[in-house]
Amino acid sequence: MTGTSMRPPRNRADPRAVRWWTAQWLILMVPVAAAAVWAYWTFTDRPMWLGVVVAAFGAGCLALAVGAPRAYYQVERWEVTDDAVYTRKGWLTHTWQVAPMSRIQRIDTARGPVQRLFGLADVTVTTASSAGAITIAALDHQLAADLAERLTARTQATPGDAT
């Protein structure tokens, strides 16, 4: 892999990904926070300290739902070179995944129902590695389709046995 260095990949997810990830977090966190508030109100004798704990928990759920997608967007990176596909993820621990073109066996795109609302798609690159597939998340759906097509053409033109 002569053209691939371990510099941060250049590309980010689509900016709409922040809204999509926020929607996912809210779908998870709003019922959790609502359940905590409901549980608090079912007590007949509600101590003041418990109200403070429930309010802090609800605020923490909201802060996580709003903050986590923005933090993830700042660190999620991907790039495709002539030699490889690589990604870097993680805030505290950076996780790098590199797939040489000669090892790529399969390229898939996926668009869930909420992703379609935001016009996004994921590209998954599968290799013979036991480490698993590389997923490039939250791309514009047309960019994802073009990338899958380009990767398919590039891997077919690359010598190797993909094992």
Residue-wise pLDDT for 28-57, tens only, equals 999 999 999 999 998 878 899 999 999 999
* Final residue in a domain of this structure, among 73, 97, 119: 73
| pLDDT at 6 > cutoff 50 | yes
| pLDDT at 5 > cutoff 60 | no
Residues 136 and 65 in one domain: no
**Assigned domain for 10 exists:** no
Q: Which amino acid is it at 152?
A: T
Q: How confident is the model at residue 118 (pLDDT cuts 50, 70, 90)?
A: very high
pTM of the full structure = 0.84
Residues 83 and 136 in one domain: yes
**Assigned domain for 125 exists:** yes
Please enumerate in sequence order all residues whose Cβ is within 8 A of that of 74, keeping only pairs 6 or more positions apart, or say none. 91
With tokens 């797939």, the residue in question is 99
Counted domains in the chain: 2
Q: Quick one: which of 61, 98, 60, 92 has its CA closest to 78?
A: 98
pLDDT in tens, 12-26: 999 999 999 999 999
Alpha helices (runs of H) in 43-158, residue ranges in sequence order: 48-75, 113-118, 141-157
